[in-house]
Chains A and B, each alone.
Chain A
């Protein structure tokens, strides 16, 4: 019966996410579709921002937002797990990392493609945002590699939580140092995303796109957490069957 108490919260989560995740998928689909339509067809191009290329921000900015938000979520989940040993928090941390890495990679890739016509180069070492996101990407990779290297789930959870918290403590310092580095080198920063002031005609589609990406991210996290909960239960049942009991199932 003790097993059931450990499962009480995951069960509650399964019930909640059963209707919440589809809702998120649907809402994110609507938001992203509206944002795309606005970004590609409706909003006028902005000559100050380099013409049509600024439309890339409707995929780049949501990705940048999610890169930061997902690492923050990873750090918070790790902290909760470290203090309260709440299994769901570890499951959340485990599934957030690869998903966050996908959006971080998307942010880097779109930033790089945006950079080519704007700066004339695929990679700008002097751009603080690109550098910060790159190091965020490394933090995600390190987290995933560390978890994968641990031989038990409990060890993966503990090691991952320690690393995520150390990383989160370092993020402000990394950000500050990178800002300092780039501000002194003063690259040809033609582009000023969010620059002087963003007109409302861009702001709303941008916000809705970011909301859509966030909802999709949330839905994917929920689905992946359901996968992980079921996989852990499967593993426990298999272990119980191996011990010859099987009655525990």
Chain B
């Protein structure tokens, strides 16, 4: 008679993979325990490879500070020079934030240069790019300890504070989360902000400060290019990430909020219904919202199942979560109920996979990207101890979870050369050198940021797209970009928010595997779906409203 052997470390990923075969939850922990990682090795994708460029990239930044900067450390990636290259703003904590202009040559070595931009702000937690005023120059929302700064893009990577210009009344708080959308019919965005704890308290447990929603102002019924007095999103439970997302494809995005249970009392994860023209209100248990309490730190979303509905990866301490909306009978989701599928998909990432530290992990920024251009999106999770928390891993490398053909994931951070033991916080995965490959930039707390160039040999083909429309909401936020190869559709919801204290406004990258051709389309925020249009592999396309894909070629310098 055999006894079940639960070997959490050595077989965690094998167990996860096996579990993926059986969606019933508990019963898949069968009595044998004799499955081994090698049983799945044949199904594993070939590992990617990254090279750490350290300071050679030109990025020399660190998220510094003590207690007040134990969270945050975000990075924003955006094209402010109209050259297609994502430059970056890196939060500095108690040091000033730093802007690095991307001067990389297409397909060449990464090259960044520290430049004065007007973004050299103090006490910066993180930042998100967004074109607030629709002028085609990217703006920045900068989260700080103190006031939020809306930084208006002036062109050529220069910025100025526009709080006054845009009627934005910031409040003094520890700002840790942000998301934005354009509500139906609006030409001015709606901004949601999450704040953390009352930093003046010696014992700040239970002191979550208020989250706020800023909507477009009106004057005598006429829309204005400024914001209203903010609406409290009460109760507030110390969020570290929030995301406007259309979880049920209703056309009106809801606001998902992931909250840090370390500090709230009586709190839980939240999702706000934000109907246009109506006050926001929380989804309730009676409506199907399921009680979940985690150390919520980051949100990543992607339609992993091809159902048309996004899945949500929530970072936390120990087990991470991957939530899929409940769709009884396979139809449209009727209720805002989500089921955790992290274990069967192999993405709990509960403890380190390298370095020998057996204690539980701490997850921060998360992002879905296809790093091998296989056509299957992968998952990066930035990891790092909060600050000498002895019960959690000190050597806690970030994860690179590669997706298998069956939809499960396998850890390949070590094989990919991504192992590092800095206290990672924010990150940005983007094609920084316009090579068609997704690179990795990680911000570490109290140690230098790291840049890994994706130099994987024999990658698949790729396409990178950006949606753009005239006027307000130029980047089609809350719309969708879809790419079809044969019958299979990859899709990404266009969002601003999520991650951990930082986001990207740049090319949307898709891997094609062996395919050389595909079809692409945009579903615009108002629900208008463009026709599918052919696109060639290994190229960049602007997806202009009403015009279809327009190929773009990077300038050589």
Q: Does B bind A? A: no
Q: Which residues of B contact A (CB under 8 A)?
A: none
Q: Which residues of A contact B (CB under 8 A)?
A: none
